[in-house]
Amino acid sequence: MQPLAERLRPQTLDEYIGQRHLVGKGAVLRQMIDKGEISSFIMWGPPGVGKTTLAQIIAHKLETPFYTLSAVTSGVKDVRDIIERARSARFFSQASPILFIDEIHRFSKSQQDSLLGAVEQGVVTLIGATTENPSFEVIRPLLSRCQVYTLKPLEKEDLLYLLNRAISTDVELKKRQIELKETTDILRFSGGDARKLLNILELVEQAEQQDPVIITNELVAKCIQQNPLAYDKEGEMHYDIISAFIKSIRGSDPDAAVYWLARMVEGGEDPAFIARRLVILAAEDIGLANPNALLLANACFDTIMKIGWPEGRIPLAETAIYLATSPKSNSAYLAIGKALEEVKQSGNQPVPLHLRNSPTQLMKELGYGIDYKYAHDFPGHFVIQQYLPDALKNKQFWEPQSNPAEEKHKERMKVLWNKEKKF
């Protein structure tokens, strides 16, 4: 018998749950699907949010051949064989066959290279699925030929709807008397993953031999503790533990950081996955309080790409401890957030004339670049002048935080800008 998640896999967009920003009324993917004109794209999102299902629905809607490859088990020869089959299957007026590649981030460079020609010539329409940032894992020539769409974890309302639909419509579950008395833990353990949610529901239903099956938080926790892998083969290791790892470093606890790192090493986690998050953390959580943190995190990432496991555990541990024991600041993270929000609110403010580029005589005559003061011509290589647009000239985005490095920057800015800016 098929697992519950497979029995409930949606067949149409009307049955599809979540991702309304992509497939809701008027959304970009929905418009392409309705028009029957699909270009190659990559879906980026956590497990269990409908990537594979959406690809299958698109193929069914377009009535086009659908080929599937798993990056874990397929080689270059498999890719070429599929492309030749797709080339033979295509007719003059028919849409390009769809090639769906699950876990495309695991494809090697040579495997990805073998796709380029077929995608560019329209022999296949590539739909990739990945849980990793495509900009890190997909080669640039292939990425430039694909749109990237981000899929989000399912929201609470979506998960509750899915639970009730499973209980009321599934052939097997309808044979039981199932009552959703408490849902906090089943939703929490699912983590926005529809497949995980249905696996937990099936696990609980099978564990309870007698009717009625009253689902409570206690029952869910009990079933998961008895059979932790039955509902989640990699999600906890991949997401919950990396979350604990990052939060331990952010919280300046080197012991906890090394413990969670050991859990990931023992679990066979991808070392590049860990190293990338250390780079992000160094910039986001340590930032200007210790700029060397980002340098070390980058060096760690480069080292990991060269040596992999098992030796990679050593630079990872070194970096994790260094980051955990470093002073913390998120002032740069907050500053770019404020600036982005300002851009969204105030739009494209004009660049002041004195800051504009003036490569032509006409531009010079229009005042481009006139009255610009070249900082190196002044004492201390600094001169007070306006750099923000007129409407934003008094805005402050960066607010230095309390740590020795930023205090030093703050004092320097006070001396330079005097009363022109507040720091």
283 HSE (CA, 13 A, CB side) = 9
As a whole number of angstroms, the distance between CA 421 and CA 409 comes to 14
Pick the CATH number of 156-226 from 1.10.3720.10, 1.20.950.20, 1.10.8.60, 3.30.565.10: 1.10.8.60
CATH class of 18-150: alpha beta
Report the pLDDT averaged over residues 247-264.
89
Which carries the bigger pLDDT value, residue 68 or residue 297? 297
Query: What tokens were used for 379?
Result: 């004492």
Residues 6+ apart with CB under 8 A from 421: 396, 413
Structure confidence at residue 233 (pLDDT): 42
Q: What is the average per-residue pLDDT within 82-109?
A: 78
Q: Mind listing the pLDDT tens digit for each residue in 49-77?
A: 889 899 888 888 888 888 888 776 777 78
**Sole residue written with tokens 């009990």:** 222
The model's confidence at residue 423, banded by pLDDT at 50, 70 and 90, is: low
Contact 187, 81 (CB under 8 A): no
pTM of the model: 0.56
The per-residue pLDDT for 94 is 64
Cβ burial of 340 (10 Å; 0-12, 13-18, 19+) is exposed
Q: Tell me how far apart the alpha carbons of residues 193 and 162 are, in angstroms, rounded to a whole number.
A: 11
Query: What pLDDT sits at residue 294?
Result: 95
Q: What φ, ψ does residue 99 adopt, rounded to 5°? A: -110, 110
Helices 217-226, 194-207: axis angle to 10 degrees equals 90
Give the per-residue pLDDT at 231: 42
**Is there a contact between 116 and 142 (Cβ–Cβ < 8 Å)?**
yes
pLDDT-derived band at 98 (thresholds 50, 70, 90) equals confident
pLDDT at residue number 227? 54
CA angle 382, 388, 393 (to 5 degrees): 100
**Same topology for domains 18-150 and 235-325, yes or no?**
no
340-367: pLDDT as tens digits = 888 888 888 888 888 887 767 766 767 7
DSSP conformation class of 178: E
Range 173-177 average pLDDT:
88
Can you name the CATH fold of 235-325?
Zinc Finger, Delta Prime; domain 3 (1.20.272)
Domain ranges of the chain: 18-150, 156-226, 235-325, 345-417
pLDDT computed for residue 226 by the predictor: 60
**CB neighbour class for 306 (10 Å; exposed up to 12, middle 13-18, buried from 19):** exposed
Among 92-96, 99-103, 183-187, 246-250, the range scoring the smallest mean pLDDT is 92-96
Residues 252 and 328: beta-carbon distance below 8 Å: yes
Residue 90 pLDDT grade (very low, low, confident, very high; cuts 50, 70, 90): low
CATH class for the domain made up of 345-417: mainly alpha
CB-neighbour burial class of residue 288 (10 A; exposed 0-12, middle 13-18, buried 19+)? buried
Asked whether residue 314 carries a pLDDT value surpassing 90, the answer given is: yes
